[in-house]
Structure 1
C-alpha cells in the first residue's frame, strides 16, 4: 500500500481531535497538511450527548446534530467542513503501531502514515467487568458506553426490552446519568456500587445524600456497598440475573456498566515518558519526544493553579488542551511563544431536571449551603471547599448562568473566607466576588 504523508497527524477522533482541527483551521493550516485518523466511522462529535439526549425516549439527539464544536457554542463541523478546509478525515481506521523514532503510524489494514508533528488524542477506553474476571461478563445485553456504536446498541436494547428491568453497575457519571435516562424510558432500575455514596471522587456525603434521595424518589433503587460478581443467562445468551457479592440476585433484561476508564497509551509504551497513568507533557502539551504532543484524557500535565502534575478526564479539558497544543505548535514554528496552560478544573452533569457544576479542587474543609432536601420543590444548594483559610472549590446545583459564573470565579480567585460566613451567605458570597 502507498504510504501517506502529512505535515500534521492527529491520532484519535474524539472531542479533542475536533477542537484541535478547529484551531488548526484558525491558525491557517494549508489544505493537505493535516489528517485526523480515527477508528470510529463518524466525524468527531460531542461525547457527553451519548449518556444524555441520545437515549431520550422522545426528541433524541442524533448526528449530525452534535458534531463538534456545538458543545461549546461553536460552529458544527460536519464531514464537509473538514473537506472544505482541506483536512483529511480518515475514518474507520485503527492505528495498531506507532513508531515515534521514524514518525510512522501503521493501521490494522497495513496502511502507513508519515507525519512531521503528531498530536496524540486517543482518549480513554472503558474498564470492562471481564478485566476483573467477573463470571459471565461476556453475556449478551451487558453494555458499556464510550462511543456512538455502544449507544446505538443500547438504544436497540431499550426498544427490544420495553418496560423491562435494568441493573446499572457503578455510581459515577455513567451510573447517575444512565439511571436517569433509563427511568425516562420507563425501565425499572437498580443501581449498584461498592462505595458508601455515589460519585465519591467528587461528592461529599452531604451532596450525595441529595442525589440518592432524589433518584430514589424517581424510582431508582440504590444498592450500596456491594459489587456484581457474576451473571446468569437465558438459553439465548442474554443476561437474566446479576449476582451481587452480598448474596442478593437481581433480575435484569439489560445491564449497563460504568466502572471507570483507562487512558489509551498502549501504542506509545516505552517510547514516551509517562506519569500518573498518562503521557507526561509540559504546559504546552509537548511530550518527552520532539514533535509529539498529547491532549485530553491521555495527557498528564502541570496544573498551574495547584502547582502539581495531574491527569484530567473531562470534556472541558479535552477541548481546551487540544486548542492549547495547536497554538503551541504554530507558535514554535514561528519562533514565538504562547502562555502556559492555566486550567481551572471544571466538571458538570445533567440528569432529570437537575444540573450541577463544580469548579476548582475538592480538598479541605467543606460547608454545605442552601436547600439540599431531595423532597423539596425548590431544591437549590451548593458547597464550598476551604483550605488554608481560602475557598479553593465550589459546587452548585440548579444555579443560574450568572451564579455558575460566580462559583467559577470564586474557585479561580480563591478569596479568604470562614466556614461560618459561607454557611450564612451561601451563593451570595460568590456573587459578590
Structure 2
C-alpha cells in the first residue's frame, strides 16, 4: 500500500505554496495535505530567479524567496511544512493518474491515494528541440525556468566572464536575463523577430525608452529576424549563430535561450 492523503497538490510551483498557506489558515489537520513536485526544493517565488538570484552582489538564495514572501506573508521553508504536518514529496515525477480510483503513480512505481486532487503543475519552458533546431542539445545553451536553470546560468556567467552571450527572445525573461548578463560583465546581443522589445506589453515609445537604456549599458539589439541555425565545435559547444535575414554569423562564448512562451 502506498501513502494516502485527504488533499494532494500535484505541482510544486508558486500556486502550491500559496494553496498550502490557505489550507493551514483554514485549519487543515496534520497529515492531510501532501505536495508532490518534480523539483528538489519546496515552492518558491519564481520571479526571483531572473532578478536577485543572478545579481553579482547582494544576490538572494533560498530560503530567502520561498513562498509566500511575494505578498508579505511568512516564508514557507521546509521547517514550516514539517511544523504544520504537510508532506513534501520532492524530486518526484507522476507518470499516471487514475481519477476513478483516486490514485497517482510515481516514476518509482509508488501509489499515492487522494480524496481531493489539486492540479497545479504550471507550465514548462519551450525547448529548442521542439522547433526542430539542429544542435539544440549543445552544452552552452541555457534556459531559465527553475532554480537549477538559474544556478547553471550563474555558474556560466562566472566562468565565462568576458565572453559573449546571445539572448534569443525579447520578452520579459529575455530582458531580465540580458540585464543580469551585462551586470555580470558579459556582453549581450538580443535577437527577436518583433520590431521592439516586449511587443506584447510595450508601445513602441515605451520600448524605445528601455532599448535606449539597455544600449547605454552595452546590449546590442537585432530586431525583426529569427535564429535559423547554430554552428558547434567538436566539444559540443555552440560558437556561432546564423540569423535568417543576415548573412554573417555572430560569435559568442555561450548562449541563453529565453522565451516567454510556455507550453502547459
Report the TM-score when normalising by structure 2. 0.97
**CA–CA distance in structure 1, aligned partners of residues 228 and 139 of structure 2:** 16
CA distance in 2, matches of 1:204, 1:97: 44
| Alpha carbons 1:135, 1:229 under 8 Å: kept | no
What is the distance in 2 between the residues matched to 1:28 and 1:49?
30
Partner of 1:96: 95
Q: State whether residues 36 and 90 of structure 1, in contact with CA within 8 Å, keep that contact through their aligned partners in structure 2.
A: yes
Residue aligned with 2:117, SS: strand
Q: Does 2:206 match 1:211?
A: no
Specify every segment of 5 or more residues in structure 1 that has no aligned partner in the other structure, as ranges: 265-433
Mapped contact 1:137–1:230 kept (Cα < 8 A): no
1:71-220 correspondence to structure 2 within 5 Å: 71-220=70-219
Distance of 2:263 and 2:7 partners within structure 1: 22
Distance (whole Å) between structure 2 residues aligned to residue 96 and residue 72 of structure 1: 33
Q: Does 2:262 correspond to 1:249?
A: no
> Contact 1:139–1:231 at 8 Å: present in 2 too?
no
Unaligned runs of 5+ in 2: none
**Which stretches of structure 1, 4 residues or more, deviate above 6 A after TM superposition?**
none
Larger radius of gyration: 1
Q: 1:167 aligns to what SS in structure 2?
A: strand
- In the comparison of the two structures, how many residue pairs are matched? 263
Q: Deviations over 1:249-286 (max 9, x none)?
A: 1112121112234343xxxxxxxxxxxxxxxxxxxxxx
Q: Alignment partner of 1:248: what SS?
A: strand
Alpha carbons 2:172, 2:260 under 8 Å: kept: no
Correspondence for 1:60: 59
Aligned-residue Cα RMSD (Å) equals: 1.1
Matching of residue 24 in structure 1 with residue 9 in structure 2: no
Contact 1:125 1:261 (C-alpha < 8 Å) held by counterparts: no
Is the contact between residue 126 and residue 263 of structure 2 (CA under 8 Å) also seen in structure 1?
no
Q: Quote the residue 2:222 is aligned against.
A: 223
Contact 1:98 1:106 (8 Å CA) reproduced: yes
Query: Offset at 1:107?
Result: 0.9
SS in 1 for 2:85: coil
SS at match of 1:235: coil
What TM-score results when the alignment is normalised by the length of structure 1? Answer: 0.60
Q: Residue 35 of structure 1 corresponds to which residue in structure 2?
A: 34
Distance 1:217 1:229 in 2: 28
